[in-house]
Structure 1
Amino acid sequence: MKYKFTIKVWRYTLAAILSLITFQTHASDTLHVVTHNRLTVVTDPSQGNNRYKAWGVFPSKGEDIRSIKLKLRLGCPDSMRCADWDYKDHITIRRTGGKKGESQDLEIGRMLTPYGGAFGKDWTFDWEVDVTDFSLLLRDSVEIEYNHTGWEPNEDRGWTVTLDFEVVKGKPAWEPISIQKIYDGAYRYGDSANTIEKALKPTTFRADKNAAFARLRVVQTGHGMDKPDNCAEFCSKFREVYFDQKLIDRRDIWKKCGENPLYPQAGTWVYDRADWCPGDLMQPDLFDLPVKPGAQHTVDINMEDYTSSEPSADEYITAYIIQYKKPAAKNDVAITDIIRPSLKDAHRRQNPANAHPQIVVRNMGAAPVASMAISYGTKGYSKKKYTWTGNLQPAGYTVIALPGEIESSVGQNVFEVELQRPNGKKDKYSADNKMASTFRAAPRHEGTMVVYLMTNNQPEQNSYVLKDSEGNIVKERAAGTLKASTLYRDTVQLTQGKYEFLLEDTSGDGLEFWANPEGGRGKVRLLNRNGAMLQDFESDFGSSVRYAFEVGTPVAPVTDQTSFGLYPTRTTDTTTFDYYANLPHDVLVQIVTDPGDEVVLDQKYKQIKEGTFTYDLSHRPKGRFYLKVFVDGEEKFKKRIRLKE
C-alpha cells in the first residue's frame, strides 16, 4: 500500500507531568540522564540572565531510541526562599560530542517560573515535555544549559532545578534524518518602522531523498507591555502558519490561566497571557508536513497586523524542521499519560477521582486509527473492556474518557491501562501499550454532608453542583441564584455511592484574588453533620475546584484539618486573618518585613479552634510584609501583604 500523507497539526496542550514516583512505563530499557540535580539557580541582575551548564551522557548514535521526555522539577533552595517573579527560562542543547564537539544552541524547553513568594520550604512541582524530536542530537556527551533570566535580588531567593531526561530505548516510530533551526529569537512586535514580518521571513528547506514527512515544531510566547494593548503579554493576537504558500493553521496566541494546576501563587497567576501562564513548561505546537524527496519546500509564520504607539513587545519564537523517514509500522498506538486517577502535579485539578478515567493516546503508525480495544482498571479488581472508535491521524494525540467507576481500597492504589488491536490489527510495537499510575483512593464519608459556602461580593460569577458517578445532580446552586456576602449551609443526604463536588467561577479569579479587592473574599468547605471540616478549599482557586468522594464504609476519620485566610493582602491600614481547625492548637501569628524578616507583630493564641483577627499596619511605612502562621511550632501558612503600594 502506498504511504499517503496529509498535513496534520498536533497542538500539545496537555501539561503532561510525570514524576518518578507516580509513573511507571512498561518499556524494557529506560535510562535517566540527570544533568542538573537540585541545582540552586538565582538571577544575575547585572545581565538579566544566568547560565547553568552541565553535561549528560546519552545513548550512543548506534542505539535505538523510542522516546525522550524532559522532566523538570522546581523547588525552594535549602538556604533561601522561593523566588518571586514569572521569568522566562530556556533549556538548551549547547554542545554535542564532548567538550571539543559541535556547538548547537538549540532550545529544547522553555520554563515560565511561577510567583513563588508564598511557597513553603518543602514546595516542589514537576513538569514534563516530550523532546524525542531532538533524539538525533541527544547522543553521547551533551552539554545542557539552564538559562535563568530576570532581574530580581539574588541573595535571599532562588529555585532548585532538576532536569531529568527519561530515555526509553527501542525501535523509533519515526526515524529522524535531520534537524534544522528556522526561527530563533525575540521578534519585535508592533513597530511600524521595523515590522515583525521583516524578521519572520519565509524559510526554505530541501527534503531529504529518504524523507516521508517533515515536522515543524514551534514554541512561542509573548512578552512585554506596550501601548495601547499591553502587548505582547496581555493581548490576544492571531498567528498564521503557511506551508508552500498554503495556510495550514491560524490560532490566537493566547492561554487561559484560571485552570493552572499550580495554584495559588503570590502574583497575578490567574491573568490570561500570550500562550503561557506563570508556572508553565511550554508544550510545542507540532505540524506534520508532507514533503517530496529532493524537492524544496517553504515554511512561513505570520503574526496579525499590529502597530503600537510605543513598541516594546516581543514574540519569542523558536521553530525547527525535523525530517523523518516513513513510520516503521502501519498500526501502532501508544499510551502517553493517565490523567485520572493520578498523583501527578499536572493533574491536581482532576484528582482524586473515583469515576470516568481519562488517558492520553498517540498514534505512532502510518495508518489513521479508527478503533482500538482498551483494558483498564485498578490492580486487584476485575478489568473493564472498552472499544474506542474515532479518527486518530498519524502522530496525533487524543484524550479518551473511559466509562465506569474507579474501584479502590483505602489508601494507595495502582490503576492499569492496556491498549490492544488498533484497527483490529496486531500492534507492531507493544512495549508502550501499557501504563500504570499510582493514586490515592477518594475519601469515604458518611451520608450526611453540609456544603458551607460564604459568597463574596460578586456571587453572579459562582455556582456549584454535586453529582453522582452517573452524572445525576444531587444538589446545585446555579449561576445567578446566589446573593452577595451570604452564608449558605446546604445539608444533603446521600446514599451509598460515588460523588463529585464542583464549584466554578466564570471570571477565573476564584472567591478571592488580591488584585480584585472589590470582589471581597468568600469561602467554601464541606462539613460533616457535627460541623467538623471534611474538606477545605483554597479561596484563591482561579476557575474551579472539584472534590471526589465516596459514601460508604469504612468512613474516613475526621482529620486534624486547618483552614487559613488573609484578606485584603493589598491594604493601606488593616488586614484580617481568619483561622479554623477541627482540634484546638497553639497558634503563633507573625508579621515580618520583606526583605529582612524583621518581626513587626508577634501574637500568640493558646489552644484555639476558630477565630478572626484584624491587624493594623497603618503606622508602618510603605512596603511588603509576610504574615506567617505557626501551628504548634510548625509553619503552616505564609502570605504576602502589600502595604500602601
Structure 2
Amino acid sequence: GHGHASNDGTYPHCCEWKDNTHYLYANGTEVDQWHIWQTHDCAQNPVYPQGGTWLGSREGWCPGDLVKDHWVELTGAVSGSTATLDYGITPVPGSNLGMGNGNYVVNMDLFEYGAPTHALDAEITEVKRPNDQGYFSRDNPICSDALVVLRNAGGTALTSATLTYQVSGGQPQTYAWTGNLAHMEEAEVVLPIPDGTFWSGDGGNRFTVTVSGPNGGTDQHAANDSYTTRFELPVIYQPDIYLYYKTNNRPQENTYTIRNLWGDVVWSRSNLPANTTY
C-alpha cells in the first residue's frame, strides 16, 4: 500500500498505514481473505540500521525488504476450462472518501500444476540460520539453535520426518519432526544445538541439513533432501563486555534486553529518560 490519503488527517492514512482486508473471488464466490499488515516485520529488516518511519508497521511491505507472497489454492473453487478471478480490498469508507486517493501496487500470477510426481517427498527449501547471506544478517552469526524450512513436495500429507544436521567435520545430530503438512505446505523447524562443541568441525564453516524417512517411509526424490550453507562463527569476547546505550528524543519507543544462550533474560531496561547514555 502507498499514499497518505485522508479527508480529515485522522490516522490511519490510506494506503501505506491502513490495515485493510484483501479478497479473492473465483466465479463470483469468495475463496480467500487475508491481511498484509507488517506489524513487527519492518523492525527486523535486513537493511539496517534505519530510523524514522522505517521501523513502523506498514501495509504489505517494508522499505528495502522483499515483498511477501500470498498463495491461494483454487483447485476446489473452479471447474471446466474457464474461470473469472477478481481481487478486492476493503471498500473506501463513506465517511472518509479521501482515502480512495491511496493506492496499491499488486502483481498476480496464475500457476497450473499437474498431479504430484511423488507421494513421499520431503524437502529442505531454506536454512535461515546458520547462514552468512546478507538477507539473514539479523539472525546471524549464531551460537544457538538452527532454523530451517521444511516443505512437503509429495502428494501424501507429511506427518513425520527425521532431520540430520552437522557442520563440516563435526558430529551429526538428529531431530524427529512431527506435524501435518499438505502438498506444498511448509513449516519452520528449530533444530536444537546441544552445546558449543557442535560448532567444532574442520574449519570449513559449512552447515548441512538432510531430511529423510517421511512418514516412516522412503523419500522418493532425494535431490531436494539436503541443503548446505556457509556461516560465520560469532566473536568471543573475554573477559568482560561493555555495552553503551544512548536514548533518543522518544525513549519510550525503545527498550533493550540481553539474553543468554538458552533465552533467559540476564539484563533488561525500559522507561529511560531521553538523550541519556548508559
After TM superposition, the score normalised by the length of structure 2 is 0.84
Q: CA deviation at 1:234?
A: 2.8
1:253 aligns with 2:36: yes
- Aligned pair partner of 2:205 in 398, 413, 432: 413
Aligned to 1:84: none
Q: Which residue is equivalent to 1:230?
A: 13
CA deviations 1:25-59 (Å, max 9, x no partner) are xxxxxxxxxxxxxxxxxxxxxxxxxxxxxxxxxxx
What does residue 460 of structure 1 align with?
Answer: 252
Residue 58 (structure 2) aligned to one of 273, 284, 288: 273
Q: Which stretch has the larger CA shift, 445-454 or 398-407? A: 445-454
Counterpart contact for 2:46–2:65, Cα < 8 Å: no
Distance in 1 between residues matched to 2:246 and 2:252, nearest whole Å: 13
- How is 1:325-336 mapped onto 2 (pairs within 5 angstroms)? 325-336=114-125
Asked whether 1:290 is paired with 2:75, we answer yes
Q: Which residue matches 1:399?
A: 188
Structure 1 contact 412–441 (Cα < 8 Å) conserved: no
Distance 1:235 1:419, change over 3 A: same
Query: 1-side partners of 2:204 and 2:62: how far apart?
Result: 31
Larger helix fraction of residues: 2
2:21 counterpart letter in structure 1: F
User: Equivalent residue of 1:315, what SS?
Assistant: coil
Structure 2 distance, partners of 1:306, 1:391, is: 39
Matched, 1:359 2:148: yes
User: Does structure 1 residue 487 correspond to structure 2 residue 270?
Assistant: no
Matched, 1:342 2:131: yes
Query: CA RMSD of the aligned region, Å?
Result: 2.6
Superposed CA deviations along residues 308-348 of structure 1, whole A, max 9, x for unmatched, are 23743222223232221111111112111110111111111
Query: Does the residue aligned with 1:327 lie in a helix, a strand or coil?
Result: coil
CA distance in 2, matches of 1:346, 1:250: 29
Is the 2:54–2:62 Cα contact (8 Å) retained in structure 1? yes
- CA 1:309–1:451: 2 relative to 1, 3 Å: closer
Gaps of 5+ in 1: 1-221, 489-645
Distance in 2 separating the partners of 1:271 and 1:483: 22
Higher relative contact order (CA 8 A, sep 6+): 2
Q: Distance in 2 between matches of 1:261 and 1:410?
A: 29
1:629 is aligned to: none
Distance in 1 of aligned mates of 2:275 and 2:107: 48
Aligned to 1:476, which of 255, 260, 267? 267
Partner of 1:371: 160
> Does residue 1:304 correspond to 2:90, yes or no?
yes
In the alignment, the residues of structure 2 paired with residue 461 and residue 230 of structure 1 have an alpha-carbon distance, to the nearest angstrom, of 21
Residue 423 of structure 1 corresponds to 215
Separation (CA, whole Å) in 2 of partners of 1:320 and 1:462: 40
CA distance, structure 2, for counterparts of residue 467 and residue 314 of structure 1 = 41
Correspondence for 2:22: 239
The letter for the 2-side match of 1:237 is N
State the SS of the aligned residue for 1:452: coil
Contact kept? 1:367, 1:394, Cα under 8 Å:
yes
Cα–Cα, structure 1 residues 294 and 386, in superposed 2: closer, same or farther, change >3 Å? same
CA contact (8 A) 1:411 1:441 kept: no
Write out aligned runs for 1:17-56 (5 A). none
Specify the SS of the correspondent of 1:366: coil
Higher share in strand: 1
CA distance in 2, matches of 1:267, 1:346: 21
CA-CA distance at 1:450 after TM superposition: 2.5
Q: Is the 8 A contact 1:411 1:440 kept in 2?
A: no
- Preserved CA contact (<8 Å) 2:14 2:99: no
Q: Secondary structure at the match of 2:43?
A: coil
Tell me which structure has the larger Cα radius of gyration.
Answer: 1
Once the two structures are TM-superposed, the CA of residue 261 in structure 1 deviates from its matched residue by 0.7
CA distance in structure 2 between the partners assigned to 1:349 and 1:309 by the alignment:
38
Take 1:397 and 1:451, find their aligned partners in 2: how far apart are those partners?
39
**CA contact 2:168–2:202 (8 Å) conserved in 1:** no
Cα distance in 1 for partners of 2:242, 2:66 equals 38
Structure 1 residues 288 and 408: CA distance shift in structure 2, 3 A: farther
Mapped contact 1:224–1:231 kept (Cα < 8 A): yes
Count of paired positions = 265
* Structure 2 Cα separation of the partners of residues 434 and 310 of structure 1: 48
Residues 84-163 of structure 1 mapped to structure 2, 5 A cutoff: none
Structure 2: distance between partners of 1:400 and 1:346: 19
User: Contact 2:15–2:99 at 8 Å: present in 1 too?
Assistant: no
What secondary structure sits across from 1:375 in the alignment? strand
Displacement of 1:459 in angstroms is 3.4
Deviating beyond 6 angstroms after TM superposition, the runs of 4 or more aligned structure 1 residues are none
Q: How far does residue 465 in structure 1 lie from its aligned partner after superposition?
A: 2.9
Letter in 2 for 1:294: G
Identity %: 29
> CA offsets per residue over residues 402-430 of structure 1, 9 Å max, x none?
11245146976111110111111111111
- In the superposition, relative to structure 1, how do residues 252 and 363 fare at CA in structure 2: closer, same or farther (>3 Å)? same
The superposition leaves residues 580-626 of structure 1 with CA deviations (integer Å, 9 ceiling, x where unpaired) of xxxxxxxxxxxxxxxxxxxxxxxxxxxxxxxxxxxxxxxxxxxxxxx
Using a 3 Å threshold, how does the CA distance of structure 1 residues 472 and 386 change in structure 2: closer, same or farther? same
Query: What SS does structure 2 have at the residue aligned with 1:323?
Result: coil
Partner of 1:388: 177
Moved more, 356-365 or 238-247: 238-247
Per-residue CA distance 1:498-540 (angstroms, 9 max, x = gap): xxxxxxxxxxxxxxxxxxxxxxxxxxxxxxxxxxxxxxxxxxx
